[in-house]
Amino acid sequence: MLPSSRKSRFEHVVRAYASDLYRYLYWLCRDRAQAEDLVQETFARAWAAWATQRDEKAVKAWLFTIGRNEFARLHERKVLDIDPEADLEAVVSLAASDPGLAIDLRQAFAKLPAPFRDALLLQVLGGLSATEIAAALDTGEDAVNMRLTRARKALRLLLDGPPNLDRNRKANP
């Protein structure tokens, strides 16, 4: 029988982070059932290694790392059968307020380099701090801050387009 304190601590972690983890994994896979399965597998692996977890402050980043690795493992041997039109239709149907913006945002995210995209998704969808993202991505906090800054700047440029110098000259003669 397991000590109740260990089990109750793990149950507390599951309740605290399950929805954030689901939101992040759903963003990665875009499939509700698959995201739910990934969350379950993440917590199963986390429970198996729970005795080795020492840093209470790093639990969220640790879970997100396990989840990201589970997602990657799922696609290691998978041959992709991509239908760009079907994906586009799914994004449009999910976008409640402005489908055009949702499409633009999804395309802009796809154009970001993977390290920038991963850091931004962990911050925005996972709610992780720079320190937690650094732990999840196995990099330094300064590198994470740089990636986040560059990701935001790149997204702004992709969504708004390059600055129009002629427009600026007319506005400021």
Write the pLDDT tens digit of every residue in 111-163. Answer: 889 889 889 888 887 888 889 899 888 899 999 999 999 988 888 888 777 76
For position 56, which CATH number holds? 1.10.1740.10
Q: Tell me how many domains the chain contains.
A: 1
Task: Please list, in sequence order, all residues whose beta carbon lies within 8 angstroms of the beta carbon of residue 43, skipping any fewer than 6 positions away.
Answer: 14, 18, 63
In a domain, 65, yes or no: yes
Which alpha helices (H) appear in the chain, and where do they start and end? Answer: 4-29, 32-48, 59-74, 84-94, 99-111, 114-124, 130-137, 141-160, 165-171
In a domain, 34, yes or no: yes
Residues of the domain holding 39: 1-81
pLDDT in tens, 86-118: 443 443 444 445 656 666 777 888 888 988 988
| 57 Cα distance to chain centroid | 19
In a domain, 73, yes or no: yes
Residue 21 predicted with pLDDT over 60: yes
In a domain, 26, yes or no: yes
In a domain, 36, yes or no: yes
